[in-house]
Amino acid sequence: MQVKASDGTFLSGRVRLVVGDITAQKVDVIVNAANPTLLGGGGVDGAVHRVGGSAILEECREIRRSHYPQGLPAGEAVITTAGNLPAQFVIHTVGPIYGRHDGREAELLAACYKNSLLLAVQNSLNSIAFPAISTGVYGYPPAEAAATASQAIMEFLATANSLSEVRLVFFKQSDMNVFLRHHKFE
Ligand code: AR6
């Protein structure tokens, strides 16, 4: 077992692992594990819209109408208000459905993380919290997702000094433990 930091922090404290609810995170921006419609769903998506309120949905509808009438493709990300959430903004990204992208799942999952981090930097945001994208309804094996997500975050942070905290939020301790066994952080 390869657990590299007992306090759940990596990359000089810029990455922090916590167990909790993504909607309760007090960071500049939280990431939503959305679907291409941007109109809500279950899991993280359901919680974000339920707690955040209608302002988020209204902005998502407008983004669909103006930029993505066919839906937001997997791997891409957009930003909206956070409504009633403690965060200031929500970045909505669409994870790959495992087994549905002809072997491009890892590339698309990495793109979710990198495009979300890029949007945060472009909007001058310093702290961001991610759920474990695609590992719920979309069926991505959590161990594989841990390797891909951590590699993508590590590569991005090497190029972006302005981000002070990337928080990875796991719903259950057992989910965090899987991540701790399979991440690639150095
Ligand atoms: N806070 C933190 N983590 C959570 C929370 C929460 N409130 N709720 C669930 N998780 P999922 P996906 C964990 O299914 O796989 C939606 O219907 C969960 O245990 O939310 O990307 C969308 O509309 C799992 O580990 O996202 C899409 O249709 C992880 O977050 C589809 O699900 C992701 O689970 C997206 O599926």
pLDDT tens digits for 43-88?
A: 999 999 999 999 999 999 999 999 999 999 999 999 999 999 999 9
**Does 93 sit in the ligand 1 pocket, CB within 6 Å?**
no
Q: Whose CA is nearest to atom 34 of ligand 1?
A: 136
The dotted CATH code for 13-182 is: 3.40.220.10
Active site residue 45: yes
What value does the mean pLDDT of the chain take?
A: 96
pLDDT of residue 6: 54
Give the chain's residues under pLDDT 70.
Answer: 1-6
**Residue 9 to residue 35: CA distance in whole angstroms:** 29
CA distances from 138 to 26, 69, 85, 94 (A): 26, 22, 24, 10
pLDDT of residue 7: 75
From the CA of 47, how far away is ligand 1's center (Å)? 9
- DSSP letter at 23 equals G
**Does 52 sit in the ligand 1 pocket, CB within 6 Å?**
no
Task: Out of 7, 21, 28, 45, pick the active-site residue.
Answer: 45
Going by C-beta distance under 8 Å and a sequence separation of 6 or more, which residues neighbour residue 7?
none
Give the ranges where 19-136 is alpha helix by DSSP (H): 43-52, 54-66, 105-122
**Does 169 sit in the ligand 1 pocket, CB within 6 Å?**
yes
- Domain parsing of the chain, residue ranges: 13-182
Flag whether the pTM goes above 0.95: yes
**Does 33 sit in the ligand 1 pocket, CB within 6 Å?**
yes
